[in-house]
Amino acid sequence: MMDFRSDTVTRPTPEMRQAMANAEVGDDVYADDPTVNSLQEFAAQRLGFESALFTSSGTQANLLAIMCHCERGEEYLCGQSAHNYRYEAGGAAVLGSIQPQPIENDADGSIDLNKAKAAIKPDDFHFAVTRMLSLENTIGGKALSLDYQQSARAFCDKHQLSLHLDGARVFNAAVKSGVDVTQITNLYDSVSVCLSKGLGAPVGSVLLGNQLFINKARRLRKMLGGGMRQAGVLAAAGRIALEKMPLRLQEDHDNAQRLAVGLADFPQLEINPALTQTNIVYARCKSGLSKQLKDFLADKGILITAGEPMRFVTHMDVSAKDVDRLLMAIREFYA
Ligand SMILES: Cc1ncc(COP(=O)(O)O)c(C=O)c1O
């Protein structure tokens, strides 16, 4: 089986399983789990923040961040295609009574700061109070430029907004931008990082911020049912994910590029390999046969996400050879 649907499908490595089996644990709701504590301390230091909180998922980390920065009746600015607007079940609105104000993303994934400025509500009781701008990096596999993120920081300072990063794949962004991850994360008031995507942990994310912010997030996490007890068994794998797995992400990017270049050889597909920046590849079926292609590949034990465009994601459980097998199977389909 080869699974190109997402980088969330990875299985824990033997080293992770070993660390999970041997993890020293305690009750994390009492802050007594040494493995969770060690992960949080390591994450804060690695990403350049005062404090960190281990969360059950990226969705939970983003929701906590939004609820920490905004109160009921307030709003956050975000991209129309932001994960924390489109794909998190409207949690900020449902559970936080916080209104999202989406703004169309530009082709590079950024949000035009002039449009963001126009979306900030005047000080008038008719409007929700605008509190925060949320960016995502990478977004749709694209890395935001450092210049843009610096402008977003200056914009938020000028307009007294908090700046949050959905950094589910921020290590992929750092690899693509050729910088240490702290050059990105230092620009934000808070960052959420998924351990369970390209970094390969089975479960969990970390949320980063200053101490006051993380204290508030810990209270909200409890309220949302996310206080976990002997969570060290999960944090043990998370620690390996955070410490070691960023070092191999370039391989995923190379495999994605190999796939993008291979797909561009098919006249039936529409794809520009130059647009593949990290580990996510998009291609359109000109004939609209993506569902048939997906089913054909599934019969051969290869999973992809159908749609317009189709999506292929590389990760630690698919190799360059797997990419070649996928291309060969697509050739058979079109033959
Ligand atoms: C950019 C981004 N943010 C957040 C999430 C949410 O992470 P989780 O699935 O752990 O809730 C995802 C999940 O795919 C994501 O792609």
Domains of the chain by range and CATH?
A: 11-244 (3.40.640.10), 248-334 (3.90.1150.10)
For residue 141 and ligand 1, the question of a CB distance below 6 A is answered with no
For residue 164 and ligand 1, the question of a CB distance below 6 A is answered with no
For residue 7 and ligand 1, the question of a CB distance below 6 A is answered with no
Instruction: Encode the chain (335 residues) as per-residue pLDDT tens digits.
Output: 999 999 999 999 999 999 999 999 999 999 999 999 999 999 999 999 999 999 999 999 999 999 999 999 999 999 999 999 999 999 999 999 999 999 999 999 999 999 999 999 999 999 999 999 999 999 999 999 999 999 999 999 999 999 999 999 999 999 999 999 999 999 999 999 999 999 999 999 999 999 999 999 999 999 999 999 999 999 999 999 999 999 999 999 999 999 999 999 999 999 999 999 999 999 999 988 999 999 999 999 999 999 999 999 999 999 999 999 999 999 999 99
Cβ partners under 8 Å of residue 57, min gap 6: 194, 196, 203, 204, 205
Distance 4 CA to ligand 1 centre (A): 16
- Check residue 8 and give its pLDDT: 98
- Check residue 61 and give its pLDDT: 98
- Check residue 202 and give its pLDDT: 98
For residue 152 and ligand 1, the question of a CB distance below 6 A is answered with no
For residue 194 and ligand 1, the question of a CB distance below 6 A is answered with yes
Distance 170 CA to ligand 1 centre (A): 12
Where helices occur in 112-190 by DSSP H, the ranges are 113-119, 146-158, 170-177, 181-185
* Ligand 1 atom at minimum distance from 59 CA: 11
For residue 136 and ligand 1, the question of a CB distance below 6 A is answered with yes
User: pTM score, two decimals?
Assistant: 0.97
CA gap 20, 37 in Å, rounded = 15
Distance 168 CA to ligand 1 centre (A): 6
For residue 168 and ligand 1, the question of a CB distance below 6 A is answered with yes
Task: Name which residue sits closest to atom 13 of ligand 1, judged by CA.
Answer: 58
Distance 194 CA to ligand 1 centre (A): 7
- Check residue 288 and give its pLDDT: 87
Q: In whole angstroms, how far apart are CA 312 and each of 85, 211, 234, 306, 328?
A: 22, 38, 27, 9, 15
CA gap 252, 258 in Å, rounded = 10
- Check residue 43 and give its pLDDT: 99
For residue 59 and ligand 1, the question of a CB distance below 6 A is answered with yes
Pairing label, strands 129-136, 74-79 = parallel
For residue 57 and ligand 1, the question of a CB distance below 6 A is answered with yes
- Check residue 48 and give its pLDDT: 98
CA-nearest of 218, 214, 322 to 262 is 322
Task: Name which residue sits closest to atom 14 of ligand 1, judged by CA.
Answer: 8
- Check residue 244 and give its pLDDT: 98
Instruction: Among 83, 105, 134, 190, name the best residue to mutate to test ligand 1's pocket (greatest count of ligand atoms within 8 A of Cβ).
Output: 83
- Check residue 108 and give its pLDDT: 97
